[in-house]
Amino acid sequence: MNIKETKKSIIQAGQLAVNELIKVAKEPIVDTGEDVTADRLKNAAATKKLAIFDAFEILNRIEEEESLLSGKPKEEKKERVFKFAEGRSKWPTSKHFQKKLRTL
């Protein structure tokens, strides 16, 4: 088995893994009618979040590998930066002021 065939097999396995992660993400968080503790709900929600992020990560890697196999040049993707509320506030944001803050 050569390297290209091996990579294709890995890509297929990755697609199957993404399908399984989608199934996990679609399941209800808690399926019992009983009183559920906050810890259990928090853990279940964290598990769903992890499944979703893992699926996206696998899909991104699959795209990269498929483009390498097809000979397409790698696209430079700008990573998204998530800012918190403090970063979006109207508080002084001039570069001059920020420079002064860094020197303090």
34-78 pLDDT tens trace: 767 878 888 888 989 999 999 999 999 999 999 988 887 666 666
CA angle 87, 89, 94 (to 5 degrees): 80
Residue 53, token pair as written in the block: 């992020």
* pTM more than 0.85: no
pLDDT band at 104 (very low <50, low <70, confident <90, very high): low
H-only helix segments in 1-104: 3-26, 38-70, 85-88, 95-103
Instruction: Report domain extents, the chain.
Output: 1-73
Compute the distance between CA of residue 8 and CA of residue 86 in angstroms, rounded to an integer. Answer: 45
- Stronger pLDDT, 88 or 58, i.e. the higher one: 58
